[in-house]
Chains A and B, each alone.
Chain A
Amino acid sequence: AQSVTQLDSQVPVFEEAPVELRCNYSSSVSVYLFWYVQYPNQGLQLLLKYLSGSTLVKGINGFEAEFNKSQTSFHLRKPSVHISDTAEYFCAVSDQGWMAAGNKLTFGGGTRVLVKP
């Protein structure tokens, strides 16, 4: 079984300030890691993913995340946020190797980011 914990349910941040969203996971098998963003009244959009290789992953809209296997973490960062980054952010994992079982995602509870002017 897998679980994903997003340590902050809400993060207020001023425009042009940096932001970090924390994500920890537990799993008995190797996993792929994802961050999704949900803008108000919309579906989820992939920000970035870690499959293998370099532990620093760059995504869309200036976001990046770092995979730390020893700490089972995948924290998301952006050095300077914009008003348009106001959204809910979800960390998710899926098992590696379960090809026949599909790419099922286990999500964290989400972090609401409110960017203030």
Chain B
Amino acid sequence: NAGVTQTPKFRVLKTGQSMTLLCAQDMNHEYMYWYRQDPGMGLRLIHYSVGEGTTAKGEVPDGYNVSRLKKQNFLLGLESAAPSQTSVYFCASSARQGEVWNTEAFFGQGTRLTVV
């Protein structure tokens, strides 16, 4: 029972390089999210998706792009990495069940990204 799986787990990038973080969930959840975690700031929402083919901006979207071509996958891209994007990135998913939400979000293990 994998839940939410993120790849890679660790990555070091040079400033200006690009990369894609992959999130996969096997729970058939409608909603998926990308958060970044920085010390003392908790987690902040980067982008999210309420269904296949849809994406929307969160609190801190600048410098990131996302795509959700398949329901089970949510990709986070950094086009030109900057040191300010050094962070731990978490993907999460949650279900929508009829008129009552299943409001629990399930999180992946995180990707620790360092931009030098």
B43 interface contact, C-beta 8 A: yes
In angstroms, Cα B33 to Cα A71, docked, is: 30
Chain A residues whose C-beta falls within 8 Å of the C-beta of B107 in the assembled complex: 36, 43-45
**What's the Cα separation between A101 and B48 when bound, in Å?**
9
CB-defined contacts of B41 to chain A, threshold 8 Å? 109
Give the contact-size bracket for chain B: 20 to 34
Bound CA span A109–B40, Å: 5
B96 part of interface (Cβ distance < 8 Å): yes
A9 touches B40 (CB 8 A): yes
For A4, the chain B residues whose CB sits under 8 A away are: 42
Q: Does B108 touch A at the CB level, under 8 Å? A: yes
CA distance A6 to B42 in the complex (A): 10
Q: What residues of B have a CB within 8 angstroms of the CB of A106 in the complex?
A: 45, 59
Partner of B44, one of A6, A51, A107: A107
Asked if B45 contacts A105 (CB within 8 A), the reply is yes
With A43-B109, A43-B110, A94-B103 as known contacts, state yes or no: A107 contacts B50, CB within 8 Å: no
Q: Which of B4-36 contact A (CB under 8 A)?
A: 4, 31, 33, 35
Task: Check if A103 sits within 8 Å of B103, measured CB to CB.
Answer: yes
- CB <8 Å contact, A44 and B90: yes
- Interface SS majority for chain B: strand
Is B104 among interface residues, defined by CB-CB distance under 8 A?
yes
The distance in angstroms between the C-alpha atoms of A19 and B50, with both chains bound, is 37
Question: Given A42-B109, A49-B104, is A103 in contact with B94 using a C-beta cutoff of 8 Å?
Answer: yes
- From 42 to 58 in chain A, residues with beta carbon under 8 angstroms from any chain B beta carbon are 42-46, 49, 51
Inter-chain CA distance A86–B107, complex, in Å, is: 19
Bound: A110/B50 CA distance, A: 26
B58 located at the interface, meaning its Cβ lies under 8 Å from any Cβ of chain A in the complex: yes
B103 touches A108 (CB 8 A): no
Question: Are A103 and B43 closer than 8 Å at their CB atoms?
Answer: no
Which residues of chain B have C-beta atoms less than 8 A from A49's C-beta? 103-104
Q: Collect the chain B residues with CB atoms within 8 Å of residue A116's CB.
A: none
Min CB distance, A23 to chain B, in Å?
11
> Is the Cβ of B50 less than 8 Å from the Cβ of A102?
yes
Q: CB-nearest residue of chain A relative to B4?
A: A43
A51 to B101, CA, bound (A): 10
> Cβ of B101 and Cβ of A99 under 8 Å apart?
yes
